[in-house]
Structure 1
């Protein structure tokens, strides 16, 4: 008896591989062959499920966008019920980095968006979503700064391949969540 095929699982495997290939080489260098090799499926599978490369790229970008949206919603929910906002922001950043492969992939997609306009909606979702979440707790101007602070600490952890500077991040979050403004404080 031969094993049953799962067409939806294979289709998903191809989409996941496409997201990774886009992040690694940019949209302009994506090929059915590269995606099939990474997915570990026959080349014909990619064209069976996605007749054109544009169809496959579009599916991959939708996937990346939905993953980012779900992650940001989870962050918002956790922050909303938090009794220690600075601690929760730091914990969320630490957990984000714990899945290094996924986090790095998302940052690669964001960086690739600088070269490829078609990737910008997925990258913009993360930027706008993080700014929106931060603005809920720090106000619009400080929310923008808080989002930039989080992105900066995450990026530095990637570049140095070191641990997240939790003390420094916490101090920055505390300062940005403070109700006093820098101009008005003494």
Structure 2
């Protein structure tokens, strides 16, 4: 009896390998050959399912987008239920950075979207989602923008430097932005 074919399983394995490869080497170093090797499939399989490298990268980034969407929903739930928002933001950022591969892919997506307009809707999901959560918590879109930029910047800094998240700095920044909301200071 011949082994059962699983075209959808092979396609998923290729996309997953593409996500891992992007996290490891960045979009600029991704090749069909490198992804095929990582997925353990013949080179022809990657080009069968994804005729161009752009198709394959887009599929990988769509998967990253879906992961980001799920992550944002979890963040919204946890932040909404929290009695200590500064600490909750720090813990969520730490948890996000603990999965370095996912974080690298998602930030890589944002950078790729700066050059490739077709990728922008995927990158904007994270940006708009985080801003929306922050706007609800901070009392409006302007402070929401500032809070999202603070959180994003702190996480990006930790990724770039390889240092631990500046928990004290992030906590203090979040506390300051939220205290202005409760103090009723003008925006």
* TM norm structure 1: 0.84
Q: How many residues align?
A: 182
5 Å-filtered alignment, 1:36-185, equals 36-139=36-139, 140-178=141-179, 179-180=182-183
Q: What is the distance in 2 between the residues matched to 1:116 and 1:52?
A: 15
- Segments of structure 2 that go 5 or more residues without pairing to the other structure are none
1:55 Cα deviation after fit:
4.0
Post-superposition offset of 1:2: 7.3
How far 1:98 sits from its partner (Å)?
0.7
Listed one character per residue, the Cα deviations across residues 26-50 of structure 1 (whole Å, up to 9, x for unaligned) are: 4xx7543232133232112113333
Name the structure where helix makes up a greater proportion of residues: 2
Q: What is the RMSD computed on CA atoms of the aligned residues? A: 2.4
Q: For residue 145 of structure 1, report the CA deviation from its aligned partner.
A: 0.2
Q: Is the 8 A contact 1:65 1:121 kept in 2?
A: no
Once residues 154 and 58 of structure 1 are traced to their aligned partners in structure 2, the CA distance between those partners, rounded to angstroms, is 24
Q: 1:72·1:130 contact (CA, 8 Å) conserved in 2?
A: yes
Whether contact under 8 Å (1:131, 1:143) holds in the other structure is yes
Deviates more, 1:91-100 or 1:57-66: 57-66
TM-score, normalised by the number of residues in structure 2? 0.84
Cα distance in structure 2, aligned partners of 1:106 and 1:116: 15
Shift of 1:22: 5.2
* Deviates most, 14-23 or 33-42: 14-23
In structure 2, what is the Cα distance between the partners aligned to 1:97 and 1:22? Answer: 16
Report the Cα distance in structure 1 between the residues aligned to 2:101 and 2:171, rounded to whole angstroms: 24
C-alpha deviation, 1:54, in angstroms: 4.9
Unaligned runs of 5+ in 1: none
Which residue of the partner structure matches residue 25 of structure 1?
27
Q: For 1:47 and 1:64, locate their aligned partners in 2 and report how far apart those are by CA, in whole Å.
A: 21
